[in-house]
Structure 1
């Protein structure tokens, strides 16, 4: 039942997140307006990720873990009703869309096999008949998926979107940053319960500063990001998150919560906000309107895969370390040796993300139109009536899509 429910949850995420990003792109013209909308969207996504941790801890300690799922279902039904009221219906297309069944099957089963191998390899052995064949089949299916996408008429993932190196870097960084996020949350939780010996409710209260501060930080970032350069913020975010993992690596059963854990969680909130929100803007802003849903889907897939891959790899590090200790370790502060190495693994992920962002991501500002938008604007001006000639003097660096409206022609409609 859990496996089936998790699969349905993935289907739900695939239907909602990319569609929401596409709706934003369609309803807001390229430039500051779209950037601001994506900033608000990303801020609420980040809030959900961190506030859910606090809520889950409180529910587990009070009325039971089952209510985590019940409360989530209530929220989903409420959003279903709200979406029915506010999201406009679009007329059905005359042409029935083609579905890439082979691509969907090979991608899903292939990635699942790879995750299974990483998750169970430390228990059964990396060359075990229970794990290695699954891994090989998974790799072959992923390769088959790429080949299928290059041949079919209506691919599930058109390969053209990967020609934009900024988008490629954004998806890779989404994978890395979610692996770091889930890794920090998981191992901080283990430190609180195993090393400190805290109860579930006390652990939830330990995360309280993380959740409450996230509400403030993410809300502010949603308003100011459209006016700031994104790349320096993303780089700073990865450095802050590395600092969080480094601070937790020094924690032991005698370390005060207020001396290391408390400030580390505060730093983590800023690190997540500085990296997660700008990355989402960077991934979607340069894509064509027709590809916004696709771009959102791929970006969301990077996030969804980053979590399980990250935790699986970090678990391999932790379990392998603790199994090498003398004597059996059932729990307690002795587990910190493996947790510490996992925090080192999180630092390595952060360093990789920092280097990738430094090399590939552009240094431009979010409120500056992309080269593509500027070129399209020039094309509009070249064929525009006399009344638009004075607009040619506008500086390209300060060009706003909303300023070139004339006779119903805008950059957004031109796209």
Structure 2
């Protein structure tokens, strides 16, 4: 039962907390933009290193598999080692992996570096979010902090497209790796200087080794299944086998977690109605957003013949909308209205922007159609992402903050894999059908029209997915606006048998 809080304790004086936010946000930006920055550089890297078409996808897949498969393990490590230590190790490791990638002289070294980036990203991402969750406990401060963090988490992918275009066009593809090094060094030095390990909440229970193995293999199989579905088709033997393996492994993982004394993922974290709704709606929204990134990037470069730099800059309106939605709408209203009244309308607003993009044609105007659609997308996503990021870690026991944060990143990572594979498959099928039914027209014009028709068809799916995300947010994300209460679960610590009531006051929603 909740009780009125005493002023929340934290190991950081107030000014240092805000300095810490700068370095945490910088690290988050590095991880998020790395998901897209390499995409634009991939054709140049393939030509330079002689990467075969069959191995090309592994430059993206190696990172996604390691990152997505190890996120829960990374969150548990943060709870076990301490969030500050995990954060710094993740930064240093990510910088080293990026240096290896930038210096890679052959395909094997590049793929190994990408996998290593994923491993350290899986340590870094959940520790960054959980540091924020336990350091900012006052409602208004938390709203501001997560407004900034949410804008970066949502807009980082578009920043990656811009930066990737600039570096590839004016320098070379290797700088899409080297650029991570100053990000990581500055963030690590800043973390050492201003971040102290937050008091309380260290989870010293034994490592759940079966849970680590099952979750890593299960999530890895799921991410890889969607990757293979995109290249081999949904009904290929490999794709179906990977999906079946993912179902068996993840079902076994849930069974094990319900039985062991010290689970990797305490089921209380995901079975909470509000938090489960947030994870699900976030994952769905990322499916739609990644599809939009993919199609608009190809539309601008292939149909409109934009350069990589101009294509990246074309996403600026979405970033502006994202920042506005997170910091000016979400952060200002989060302590005043229920989160569902930010998330639900936010996803609907993004859906309206996506709906505009279903009218895409070969001759569509960037200023008349794409720019206003991106503004609405960014505004809606920023408004929804900000409270979602905050609420996903709000009310959890401090000792579970790392794994709760990892679930946020897991929903986004899996959503990104699904969005890329599912919507690309829909677009390819629609493109083929259009070209077949309109055979006999000028070949070049038909090719462009069929391509754009495929994009518009897939974007209709994205509209429906955002509508579903909005419905889930309205239905499941219950509770009032944030208020400060202390969570006193009365649970016993699995390792010590002592009462597990948190030392740290965590705001929880008033029901």
TM-score norm. by structure 1 comes to: 0.81
* Match status 1:60 vs 2:165: no
SS at the partner of 1:412? coil
1:347 to 463, 466, 487: 463
- Paired residue for 2:365? 256
User: Do the aligned residues in 2 keep the contact of 1:30 with 1:285 (CA within 8 Å)?
Assistant: no
**Residue 289 and residue 155 in structure 1: after superposition, are their counterparts in 2 closer, same or farther (change >3 A)?**
same
Q: Determine the structure 2 residue equivalent to 1:271.
A: 380
**Match status 1:165 vs 2:273:** yes
1:196 aligns with 2:298: no
- Distance in 1 of aligned mates of 2:248 and 2:224: 15
- Superposed CA deviations along residues 260-310 of structure 1, whole A, max 9, x for unmatched, are 111111111101111111111221222122222221111121112111111
477, 485, 497: which one pairs with 1:361? 477
**Equivalents in 1 of 2:291, 2:310: separation in Å?**
20
Aligned to 1:44: 152
5+ long unaligned stretches in structure 2: 1-57, 63-111, 490-502
Shift of 1:97: 5.2
Residues 346 and 380 in structure 2, CA contact (< 8 A), matched pair in contact too = yes
Deviation, 1:47, is: 4.3
Aligned to 2:343: 234
Q: 2:120: which partner in 1?
A: 12
Matched positions, count: 379
Instruction: Report if the CA contact (8 A) 1:57-1:204 is conserved.
Output: yes
Q: TM-score, normalised by structure 2?
A: 0.67
Q: Contact 1:98–1:154 (CA<8 Å) still a contact in 2?
A: yes
Deviates most, 117-126 or 164-173:
117-126
Distance (Å, rounded) in 1 between the aligned partners of 2:343 and 2:324: 19
Q: More deviation in 272-281 or 107-116?
A: 107-116
Q: What do residues 109-156 of structure 1 show as CA deviations (whole Å, max 9, x unaligned)?
A: 222323333333365344433332232222211111112222233221
Distance 1:319 1:112, change over 3 A: farther
Deviations 1:162-197 (A, max 9, x none): 331001101111211211221111111122122323
Partner Cα distance (1:231, 1:202) in 2: 36
Match of 2:246 in 1: 138
CA–CA separation in structure 1 for the residues paired with 2:310 and 2:260: 54
Q: Does structure 1 conserve the Cα–Cα contact (< 8 Å) formed by 2:230 and 2:421? A: no
RMSD after superposition: 3.1
- Unaligned 5+ segments in structure 1 are 377-409
Question: What is the correspondence of 1:372-387 to structure 2 with a 5 Å cutoff?
Answer: none
Larger radius of gyration: 1
Q: Distance in 2 between matches of 1:336 and 1:94?
A: 52
Q: CA deviation at 1:353?
A: 0.5
Counterpart contact for 2:227–2:421, Cα < 8 Å? yes
In 2, distance between residues paired with 1:276 and 1:303? 11
2 CA distance for matches of 1:138 and 1:413?
A: 34
- Greater mean alpha carbon deviation, residues 17-26 or residues 229-238: 17-26
CA contact (8 A) 1:177 1:276 kept: no
SS of the residue aligned with 1:342?
A: helix
Structure 1 residues 9-408: aligned runs within 5 Å: 9-29=117-137, 31-88=139-196, 98-121=206-229, 123-221=231-329, 223-229=331-337, 230-324=339-433, 325-326=435-436, 332-362=448-478, 364-366=480-482, 368-369=483-484
